[in-house]
Amino acid sequence: MAPSRREALVQLAALAALPLTRWTYSATSPLEGTIAEYQAGRQRGTWNAAEVTALAIERCHAEGMRWHAIDALSSSAIAEARAADERRRAGRMRGPLDGVPVFAKAIYDVVGLPTTASNADWARLFPEPVRRDALEVARLRAAGAIVLGKTAADDFAYHGNGTSSHTGQVLNPHDRTGTRTPGGSSAGSAVAVADGMAFAALGTDDGGSNRIPAQFTGVVGMKPTFGLVPRTGVIPTWPYLDTHGPLARSVADAALLLAAIAGADASDPLALTGAWDAAPLASLQDDALGGMRLGVVEEHVPRGQMTAEAVAMWDRALGDLRGAGATVESFASSVTRVNVREAFASAARARGDVAVDPDSPAPTANALLRYFAGRTDDPRAALRRGYPAYQKFYNVLPATFEECEPLFDRPMVEDPAGRSFARSRSEVVASLASSMRAAGVAAMVYPTMPFNAPRAVDPWPDIRTALGYGNWLGLPEVSVPAGLGADGMPALNVSIVGLPGDDARVLALAHAYERHSRRLIAPPRVG
């Protein structure tokens, strides 16, 4: 529905009040630029990986602790950076991530560090350093990346506010009052990237845990196609929803991280098994939006509940997309956030299948046992020890370890409710794909979040978002900053969303939007 004349004037006034954010990266510090700029500086001899890694650790000790963003720092990062410098001098670099400082989230296993899950009880129960890397961490190391350590998150990655019982409330570095949330659960990962402590970080997303903090801190967050990134060695959440992906300050940097961590691995029973071609992610084109038709699902843009500033930001973002060559039109999708759950249930009923349930307790119980089996010689004893603390958050699980025991050995792929969910996902995605093809729509766009960061202690606005829609359908989604609000805080991100398998395309479209709009948000510097 078109806005009234009065609403249009209010939106124009809000747009006029927005600061210009056509910022280009500065070479003041390599940590505030892109990975490509950093590597170019290394090749010129302007800096080396050991120097920049030391600077990153210094920032972590200062600003990282100030924002409560750091869970643990690695003692081997400087040595790894020196090894990367040796590889560069010998002409044996492993690729574009070689020598690049990055972070993992607190629920990832990292050799030599305890896995606290950002939970005070687990930090006390499991203080010993783990002896393995999560698969994604191992893949980053294989690509030459320097894993600085682990970032704070919501306990067990369960909420979206950045509240850890272990390290405290993660704070938003853009907020001088020290009161506003960075979002979560991948709070520390987003803050580390936003504040220039690392170039990129790993995060997880069951219902917005990468995309929410991406918007609230003004960085790029991605939720890849479900199953594209195997999750082995990471404390599990909901196996049929959980998706792992990158946070970075630019789309190109996020693409480099995804290229390193994606690809089949049999250790995750729900991961995709087909071949993965990462080559397109290395050369994203600035003109990728030219001639593309993008669909706006009106149910995903709650204009009536958004502030005038948020609406103005959104309309400006649509103008930026059109200015980059895209056609942006309303799209009457067969599947929206309003009807997606009923579509899944209806498909199950038509099959005569059991009711769908992505939160079914058995897959999470099995995933938890599989996690401990990979990190300890006595997984059941460790699981028994940690179960009460975990169950407080994932309380769909039985109240006691003994009650849950029958579920631990039930393979997650054989859970009836989970299998029904997966079958419905396939059918509902096929319906969405059909409606997109019929409309000639290459991708959908909507605001990542229709409001900016509230205070950490306040209830969030009661506005429905499309975040869970993407997880239920397993869609790849890239969330890109659309600029600062009048208060100087990151105000809105644009989500560019495709069909499963369209990861390279949505990254290319997001990159083209980012390059054309130039609304990148500089890392905040504090005194």
* Catalytic option among 105, 223, 360, 479: 105
SS (H, E, C) 138-151: HHHHHCCCEEEEEE
DSSP bridge pairs for 495: 446, 479
Q: How far apart are CA 123 and CA 113, in angstroms?
A: 11
334 is a catalytic site residue = no
> Can you tell me which residue has the tokens 């054989």?
414
Strands 200-205, 220-223: pairing is unpaired
Q: How far apart are CA 73 and CA 113, in angstroms?
A: 8
CB neighbour list of residue 191: distance below 8 Å, 6 or more residues apart: 64, 67, 69, 151, 162, 170, 171, 172, 173, 182, 197, 213, 217
105 is a catalytic site residue = yes
**Taking the CB of residue 43, how many other CB atoms lie within 10 A of it?**
10
Cis peptide bond N-terminal to 26, omega within 30: no
* Catalytic option among 74, 189, 209, 495: 209
Taking each helix axis as running N to C, give the angle between helix 308-323 and helix 5-17, from 0 to 180 degrees, rounded to the nearest 10: 80
CA distances from 487 to 295, 414, 456, 460, 520 (A): 30, 51, 17, 18, 16
Under 8 Å between Cβ of 227 and 473: no
Under 8 Å between Cβ of 212 and 467: yes
Q: How far apart are CA 366 and CA 236, in angstroms?
A: 9
Under 8 Å between Cβ of 365 and 408: yes
Residues, the chain, total? Answer: 527
Q: How far apart are CA 221 and CA 4, in angstroms?
A: 34
* Catalytic option among 74, 118, 164, 185: 185
Under 8 Å between Cβ of 344 and 472: yes
Under 8 Å between Cβ of 189 and 245: no
Q: How far apart are CA 57 and CA 29, in angstroms?
A: 14
CA distances from 137 to 41, 143, 203, 264, 407 (A): 25, 10, 11, 15, 29
209 is a catalytic site residue = yes
Q: How far apart are CA 468 and CA 464, in angstroms?
A: 10
**Taking the CB of residue 398, how many other CB atoms lie within 10 A of it?**
16
Q: Sign (positive/negative) of CA torsion 389, 393, 399, 403?
A: negative
Instruction: State the catalytic residues.
Output: 105, 185, 209
